[in-house]
Structure 1
Amino acid sequence: MIVEELKLINQRNYKELQLQFHPKLNVIVGENAQGKTNILEAIYVGAIGKSFRTNKDQEMIKMLKENAYIKVKVRKITDKVEIEILLSKEVNKKIKINKVPLIKYGDLLGNLNVVLFSPEDLKIIKEGPNERRRFINNDISQISPKYYYTLTQYNKILQQRNKLLKNYKGNKINIEIWNEQLTNQGASLMIYRRNFIKRIAILAKLMHRKITEGSESLEVQYESNVKVKDDEELKDIKVNFLKKLKELQDVEIRRGLTLVGPHRDDLIFKINGLEVKNFGSQGQQRTSVLSLKLAELELMKGEVGEYPILLLDDVMSELDAKRQNYLIHNLKNIQTFITTTNIEPLNINNDKEYTLFEVVNGEISIISPKK
């Protein structure tokens, strides 16, 4: 999978920009606040449909402009895909795939697969379960649009059930109706998550062992407040979920909130048996996230048949020389985009296959294309 070309109009600080990329390594260098990350953001939006920096599409539109346009041309093993996204301050965004307007947002997912690694990803380890669920949801949605639709349905049902609990008037039949719908969608989500985390945990463990030269062992565990065993089928998990809802029904009515289900799921990271969030050093936390990102690459390759695009946004300064070198020289079969303020520590001068871009206040020049 290769991003061949990117075109931007009125996106962030770019009035108009059109770039062709190297199929292997692209390094974008420049001082802070010059527009480096905007390029990675545009590629990410082409894959996911939303930014990794903001929840508001309007913030991606250039100041004093009403619309912004993003076009990403992608070459895959079997075909070529042209993704167009029109952002507006007045109406919802519009998306086209090969000139055909999309009716459902979820139909965008899977046309371009990306793995992003930015300093913000340390939140996966350091912060609350929302960050870890976001990671899970973004990843599974890219490889299984059906998961995205199930998640959307679950969230709508959850919202309605919470509304009923907050305004409860003694009719338990209504709660039972919503319980049935919630457990149908929720059990499916938990099956997806269990299987995904089981696979990525194995890959992350292997990556971590390689990076730390066998000195550390990383575990990634799925934590749910519903019993989800490895051998349990969909119907079993649904029964477990329904049972838990009934046990907590009176408490939920008092609280006006659904207290059990996949919206409360979490991930636990451990190194040599100790939880990384509470006991890991900064270096161990960074290495854990790096291992997770490298595992994402391999998992997506296994699922879709080709590697996704790797976006490294200002993370090289967060890694020591050993880990930088590992990234640069062990991912040569994956198209990679790196933003950085300083190219020297990357030590890529002897690497023959890359393009170096320099960004100065929204203006981009190619410094050294190496074919």
Structure 2
Amino acid sequence: MKIELLTLYNYRNYIDLNLKLSPNINIFTGFNAQGKTNIIEAIHFSSLGISHRTRNEGDLILWGKNEANINIKFSKMDINSILKIKIKKNTRKELNFNGEIIKQKDLPGLLTMILFSPEDLMLIKGSPLMRRRFIDIELSQISKIYYNELVQYNRLLLQRNNLLKKIRENKNLITMLDTWDEQIAKKASFIVDKRIRGINDLSKLAQKTHYQISQDTEILNIKYNIYNQGNGVLNNFDDLFSFYKNILKKHRDNDIYRGSTSVGPHRDDIDFSINSISLKSFGSQGQQRSAILSLKLAELEFLKAETGEYPVLLLDDVMSELDTNRREKLLSILQDNNVQTLITATDKSLFNIHPKNKFFKVDKGIVSE
């Protein structure tokens, strides 16, 4: 997939930006707070319809304006398309794909991309929520069904939690949980089954890359961890469905007392280990960063295998966080595989002159080659 043209109107600090991108590596340099990350954010927002920096879409609109526009001209499997997004204050955004109005649920998968930001360097040490969000974004880009099932699961979860609170006041409502638990168990089983398969595939790809990065000394393993699984083996949807029906019933009294659902995919986690030793507990900072880099490179191959071509890679201010060897390894892989990449950095000297590198300067919302 390649983005040819990005147009921003009244987005963050951009009044009117028309940016023609190279199909290879695009490097944006400049001082902090000039608008480099805003370009990354706009493209990432176009992929999922959510910002990785704010929950308030009004923050994306230039101060004093009532709406912002993101237009992206891109090619996917050699088919040209145009995606237009209009963000308005105090109302829903408008989405238009090739002249047709679409809904939020239709957006994931149109633009496939991977974001690598400084926050991702905390993926291993950070909260389980970060790791769950990581795999959900990955799978949502290759499967609209997965995205829709995840949305429905979260709605059911909210409704079940509301019912649990009501049961504390009226015990006669407890029989209603049987219906909710059946639906929750089905959605949970579908989601976790897909997550397990996705993590297994990513683990194999990341393991191969990490072995090379570590000069054949470290074996990286990534494993999906089902909350409260115990010693049982859950190999497929049927196993998971039986597990969730039983465990939801087992924890019912506790859930009523807490007023929330204590088991399900919203409680699961992902474990990283090197040579069978936990990276979160015992890995050095260098090992953790190498593992994250291996994971991001694995994402490229994973999405290519699922969609038929590489996604766009967004590297937001992470090059300075990588040492010279990791940085050169990353750029070499991207150049060799013609992965369209957008990189932001404050220091241009981090990059060598290369025929596939296109440099931009960003200064107070003005972008120039």
TM range (shorter): over 0.9
**Aligned mates of 1:312, 1:288 — CA distance in 2:** 16
Q: CA deviation at 1:233?
A: 2.7
2:291 counterpart of 1:285: no
Q: TM-score, normalised by structure 2?
A: 0.96
Other-structure match for 2:155: 156
The residue type paired with residue 39 of structure 1 is I
Other-structure match for 2:204: 202
CA contact (8 A) 2:8 2:71 kept: yes
CA contact (8 A) 2:227 2:269 kept: no
**Aligned mates of 1:304, 1:38 — CA distance in 2:** 27
The residue type paired with residue 339 of structure 1 is T
CA contact (8 A) 1:44 1:51 kept: yes
Other-structure match for 2:184: 182
Q: Deviations over 1:306-360 (max 9, x none)?
A: 000011100000000001101111112200111111111222x1x1122110011
Other-structure match for 1:121: 120
**Aligned mates of 2:60, 2:79 — CA distance in 1:** 29
Other-structure match for 2:12: 12
**Aligned mates of 1:278, 1:227 — CA distance in 2:** 21
Other-structure match for 2:241: 238
The residue type paired with residue 46 of structure 1 is S
Other-structure match for 1:303: 306
3-state DSSP of counterpart to 2:306:
helix
Moved more, 77-86 or 222-231: 222-231
CA contact (8 A) 1:227 1:237 kept: no
Q: Deviations over 1:211-233 (max 9, x none)?
A: 11112111111001264977733
Other-structure match for 2:99: 99
**In percent, how many aligned pairs have the same letter?**
42
Distance 1:331 1:13, change over 3 A: same
2:87 counterpart of 1:84: no
Q: Deviations over 1:129-159 (max 9, x none)?
A: 1111110111100011110100011001100
2:61 counterpart of 1:61: yes
Q: CA deviation at 1:62?
A: 0.7
Flag structure 1 segments of 5+ consecutive residues without an equivalent: 367-371
Correspondence 1:193-232 to 2 at 5 A: 193-225=195-227, 227=229, 232=235
Q: Deviations over 1:263-313 (max 9, x none)?
A: 111001111222112211111111111111111000000000000001110
**Aligned mates of 1:58, 1:172 — CA distance in 2:** 41
Moved more, 32-41 or 43-52: 43-52
2:343 counterpart of 1:338: yes
3-state DSSP of counterpart to 1:331:
helix
Q: Aligned residues, how many?
A: 363
CA contact (8 A) 1:162 1:257 kept: yes
3-state DSSP of counterpart to 2:7:
strand
Other-structure match for 1:268: 271
Q: TM-score, normalised by structure 1?
A: 0.95
**Aligned mates of 1:15, 1:63 — CA distance in 2:** 10
The residue type paired with residue 128 of structure 1 is S
The residue type paired with residue 98 of structure 1 is N
**Aligned mates of 2:320, 2:247 — CA distance in 1:** 46
**Aligned mates of 1:19, 1:217 — CA distance in 2:** 41
What's the Cα RMSD here? Answer: 1.3
Flag structure 2 segments of 5+ consecutive residues without an equivalent: none
